[in-house]
Every structure is written in structure tokens, then in C-alpha cells.
Amino acid sequence: MPDRVTSMEVFIKVAAIGSFSSAGRAMGMSQTMVTKHIAALETRLGVKLFHRSTRSLSITEAGRNYLDSSSRILAELEAAESAIAADRFEPRGVLRVNAPVSFGARQISPLLPEFARRHPLVTVELGLNDRLVDLAEEGWDIAIRIGSLSDSSLIVRRLAPCRTVLCAAPAYLEARGTPRAASELAQHNCLGYTLTRLTSIDRWVFGARGEAAVQVSGNLRANNGDALRAAAVAGQGLIYQPSFIVADDLRAGTLVAVEMEEPTVALGGIYAVFLPGPPPAAKVRALIDFLTAQFAPQPPWDRHLASPVAGAGVNGGRSAP
């Protein structure tokens, strides 16, 4: 069966020119094929679109009604295709971005006013949660993920390293002492992050390759790094968190980095991930390029940070071209 859209285009051309053969020549199509398209339309619609004789061709009343409708439909289709094509070249439309709570609130949200100034046709919808979202099922354009990525079909763009810091409030260290080796952490109140994928709540890992592991315990566990940070600032215990959460407190002196014999480990990196397929829309490329530029050559939270932090981890996942 002939393509319905093409049949509409053929019908409109025949109506405009008034001839099957002339319409065929204008469209690079044989008269026989033009006849097949019109016949297919008439069969589908159950009406005659043209009065045909050996000498003349005229449009029927049903044909005039269909001409109005089909012309409007094709115009809307062309406009929709033009809009989609424009999205590939000009950042525009709603951009749905998902990020972990602390990183999104602390490091993504403050940058969005500048992104909006540069790209006024883009509306950002920022979703903050710490679970692993399904981009396709939930309709996210981009997700920010932290840590060593497992193999997947997603396209990955590395934005920044993810460094870690072992730290506590000065008052806690004065009262309990400063640990100098991982084994000493068993004697301290270690506040645990429940969503960790690096180790476990009660097992902290140190060393350049994560070779030193120690069992820890504490009287607070939380699924949010900022909740643990607040408790640490209040002197409750030690925390082992990414530098993007504690950097401001380290600079202010409300937290102190603890340097032990074993270095802290890196979490692999901070990444933007998006679905594979055709080239991503301009709005997706615009945000990724913007964040990459903002976080290079060193992410802002680590700049001028004298406290010891872990080095950057290795890249992971499938790299974006």
C-alpha cells in the first residue's frame, strides 16, 4: 500500500496542477504511480476525489474538503519536523536533568543561572535524588552519576574527579584524638553513609588501590552526605565523604581533614550520562559542555583546598565522542 503521507502530497500536487501526468513530472514520478496513490486514497476514504474524463480533471466536493485537511496536516508535519531539526542545532526546549541530592544542590544548582543566561531558550528541570534512575523509562535527558561506572549502553562524559576526605570537627579531634592509621578508626565514632557503593556502611577502605580496609562503627547512619556533614560539624564523629560536600567546611575550619598513613580512595569520577542513539539534542550538548568548562581544569570545590584529599580515579563507562 502506498505511503499515506506521500499519497497526500501527490493528491495536493494533482489538485494544484490539474493533471496526473504533469503532477508526476513535477514530483519525479510516473503517471502510473500517481494514479496508484490517488486510487489508494480514494479506497481508504471511500469517496471520489476527482472527476476524471479523457479531456478534463476536476476536484469533487469531498476532494475539496480533503484538500483543506491534508494541506493543514502536511503543514503541521513540516513544522514539527523543522522544530525537531532545529533542536539538533540550537539549544531549546525542556532539559530534564537528574543529579544526586548533595552534588546537585551544592554544585549544579548554583551554575544554572549562568547556563540560563547563555541559553535563554532552554528550561531546565532539575530532579534531585540519590537512587539510580532509568533515563529511558523516566524520561531524563541527562543524569549525573558519581563513582566508578559499571558497563552499560549509556554514553558517558567525565566531568570531574571525585576526591574523598576523612574529616571531623576540631572539638571532636581534641576530645577523642586524631587517628593516624586506618586500624585506629575502630576506636572512633564513624558516621556511616548508607548508600555507598564503594564498600559498606561499616567497612571503610583506604590506600592507593583500596588495599586497606577497616571495620568501623558509629551512632549515626544516613542516606545523605549533607546530613552526615552537619553531624560532623557539630562534633558527633568522623565522616568519610566526597570533597564537594565538605570543602567549604574545610576552608572555614569547621571541619579538619585527617591525614593518616594510608591515603583516602577516590570514587572514580563525576559523570554525565545520556542515552545512545542519534546525535544528542543541542540542549544536551550545551549543558555537558558548560559543566565540563566550569569544572576544568580543577573543580571549583577543590580549588585552593590545602587539606589532603584522594587523587582522581580512573575513567569508566563508554566515552562520548
State pTM to two decimals: 0.69
**Cβ atoms of 129 and 98 closer than 8 Å:** yes
Average pLDDT (252-269) is: 91
pLDDT of residue 199: 62
pLDDT digits (tens, 9 = 90+) for 134-184: 998 899 999 999 987 776 788 999 999 999 999 999 999 999 999 999 999
Look-up of cell digits 549543558: 287
Phi, psi of 310 (to 5 degrees): -70, 155
pLDDT digits (tens, 9 = 90+) for 17-30: 889 989 888 889 99
Q: Look at 186 and 309; give whichever has higher pLDDT.
A: 186
CATH topology of domain 164-257: D-Maltodextrin-Binding Protein; domain 2 (3.40.190)
**What is the number of alpha carbons within 13 Å of residue 249 lying toward its C-beta?**
27
Q: Look at 84 and 96; give whichever has higher pLDDT.
A: 96
Same topology, domains 93-160+272-296+312-319 and 164-257? Answer is yes
Domain segments of the chain as ranges: 4-88, 93-160+272-296+312-319, 164-257
Q: How confident is the model at residue 54 (pLDDT cuts 50, 70, 90)?
A: confident
The three-state secondary structure class of 63 is: helix
Average pLDDT of the chain, as a whole number: 87
- List the one residue out of 127, 69, 99 whose CA is nearest residue 272: 99
pLDDT of residue 312: 37
Instruction: State the CATH architecture for 4-88.
Output: Orthogonal Bundle (1.10)
Average pLDDT (199-225) is: 88
pLDDT digits (tens, 9 = 90+) for 273-317: 999 877 788 999 999 999 999 998 899 999 877 645 554 333 333
Element (H, E) at 98: strand 93-99
Q: Look at 125 and 277; give whichever has higher pLDDT.
A: 125
Q: Look at 58 and 54; give whichever has higher pLDDT.
A: 58
**What is the number of alpha carbons within 13 Å of residue 321 lying toward its C-beta?**
5
pLDDT of residue 151: 62
Distance of CA 125 to the CA centre of its chain: 11
Measure Cα distances from 203 to 169, 210, 220 in Å: 21, 12, 14
| One-letter identity of residue 247 | A
CATH number listed for the domain at residues 93-160+272-296+312-319: 3.40.190.10
Q: DSSP assignment, residue 308?
A: -
Q: Which three cell numbers stand for residue 131?
A: 537512587
Is 321's pLDDT higher than 70?
Answer: no
pLDDT of residue 87: 53
Average pLDDT (233-262) is: 95
Q: Which three cell numbers stand for residue 108?
A: 549544579
